[in-house]
Structure 1
């Protein structure tokens, strides 16, 4: 049941948070944006409302699978740890058990999300990359100015993007930035599930075993904020590595990307998009956990 509940929660979360995710990726990959509002304004002027939803179809299609694997892996890993340590899967887990299970959940999702993350980032940034390429192109010689060049988008959609990346960059291109993604999701999902469990315990009324809907909303939202707080530095590096394949390559790998980014923009670059991530994380994870808990309680009620 955890797999089904996780799938429903993941789809709801993507539907709520995708526009802000697009803004976040633009801020992280483009040095000209010094805040959220300039990025939102430029994106709307250039691409209107549709620009906020570029690359949405693939995340929606994969969200159910990824979220299902994340919550299912966490639940089953925690049950096995409790069975081994305490003799029963229903025993109350220690904080270390929750942390380890959350970390395992983060590691598992990397293998599923890396290709879709590459496609999402490329689609979210390709309009800006095209504009910069046109700006750098030298004008034709002669008395008359060169005619404006208006090439079509390089990627026509998520599947075309994945096929193009696989053809031009091979399998490694589909997993570009996966090491940064692994570093991001391992400790962030450990924080995610641990903080949710602690907050749910604190917000559960006396005499009850579970928090009410308001408690789940608050715990889920706060867990999402804490998880993205620790994840943002590696999320910046991940986005830059994955967007790097659209033009002249700047980064040789994860460490080179970290060093080059900090040298050019200072240590604050690793916090780019932090405020936006936190603003997005609260409502998204409120929805994710409420949907997850609702499906779990519904199915348990039907089975009993």
Structure 2
């Protein structure tokens, strides 16, 4: 069975990798004193009620359509360009190397859009936690009030105090997460979708799409967890003071203080959550693509 071509139609509201997860995953990875997943969930609920799980999500939700359209559009157009350059046909079924190269380009482009969005989300989620390390204990400047009043205020404050470099804090870790992450997202999907789909079928059925998309999401997010932890810590750093000098320093400090296991915080959450989310995403994508093709056929018989 040949690999399926992922060609993006008009801009779609797909759930992007960077928008997954609420406040509790970020706190588990970058926070202090939350322990395991269950304890983290209970602590957030006790302190902030249900609203605590959705802190910082308005900005990612507002930008998700643009983000998804750009990422999937870059992936699709890169595949078409490679097909034209290598095979003389933009619609040629992509080889594995074509999918890998298109995924890599999409990963690079995604970081430019996703880094500021993730930074704002994480800063809003982490400002409710009192910072403490050694003998240093810091709280918001005005007792009872958060550091940031909302996503726009957070963006403006970071830009004024830290400049463009502050807005793109954690970009290196995000590149190390998303470039291989997207490769392990699109490649497993095309492979499993082709493997599950019977040879006599022209296109994959909904069951094949659902299963292949779920497996791809679980693989991608599971393997991206170590860099997801580093990225979250770098972007959370700076709400009160700067603790890490960069990606390597964050890795070394995290390892020295908490051991190797710290890099796998949230891996179960990521993998389990990645399955249904990606299943729904790819299923919606393929079904909408089929519908558009059917409409085009009926319009132009």
Relative to structure 1, is the Cα distance of residues 250 and 12 closer, same or farther in structure 2, using a 3 angstrom cutoff?
A: closer
Q: For this pair of structures, how many residues does the alignment match?
A: 287
- Counterpart of 1:142 in structure 2 is none
Verify: 1:88 aligned to 2:89, yes or no.
Answer: yes
Distance 2:187 2:16 in 1: 22
Alpha-carbon contact 2:83-2:89 (below 8 Å) kept: yes
Aligned to 2:13: 8
1: distance between equivalents of 2:159 and 2:241?
17
1:250 matched to 2:243: yes
Cα deviation for residue 52 of structure 1 reads 0.6
TM-score by length of 1: 0.89
Q: How far 1:113 moved relative to its partner?
A: 0.8
The secondary structure found in structure 2 opposite 1:252 is: coil
Q: Identify the residue that residue 224 of structure 1 maps to in structure 2.
A: 217
Partner of 2:172: 179
Once the 2 structures are TM-superposed, how far is the Cα of residue 137 of structure 1 from its aligned partner? 5.9
Shift of 1:108: 0.5
Deviations 1:156-204, CA, capped at 9 Å, x for gaps: 1111110111111111110000011111111110111000000110121
Q: For each residue in 1:247-274, what CA deviation from the matched residue of structure 2 results, as whole angstroms up to 9, or x when unmatched?
A: 1211011111111111111111111111
Distance 1:96 1:77 in 2: 12
Over the residues paired in the alignment, what is the CA RMSD in angstroms? 2.1
User: Greater relative contact order: 1 or 2 (C-alpha under 8 angstroms, separation 6 or more)?
Assistant: 1
Which secondary structure does the structure 1 equivalent of 2:14 belong to? Answer: helix
Quote the Cα distance in structure 2 between the aligned partners of 1:192 and 1:10: 13
- Tell me, yes or no, if structure 1 residue 161 matches structure 2 residue 154: yes
1:10 deviates by 2.4
Distance in 2 separating the partners of 1:170 and 1:12: 26
Structure number having the greater helix percentage: 1
Q: Distance in 2 between matches of 1:13 and 1:221?
A: 17
- What aligned pairs does 1:57-206 form with structure 2 within 5 A after superposition? 57-129=58-130, 136=137, 150-206=143-199
Unaligned 5+ residue runs, structure 2?
1-6
Farther-moved stretch of structure 1 (64-73 vs 200-209): 200-209
Of the structure 1 ranges 291-300 and 188-197, higher mean CA displacement relative to structure 2 is found in 291-300
Deviates most, 52-61 or 86-95: 86-95
Task: Write out aligned runs for 1:18-29 (5 A).
Answer: 18-19=21-22, 22-29=23-30
Alpha-carbon contact 2:9-2:289 (below 8 Å) kept:
no
1:235 to 228, 231, 244: 228
How far is 1:79 from its partner? 1.0
Distance 1:187 1:210 in 2: 27
- The CA distance in 2 between the partners of 1:165 and 1:232, in whole Å, is 26
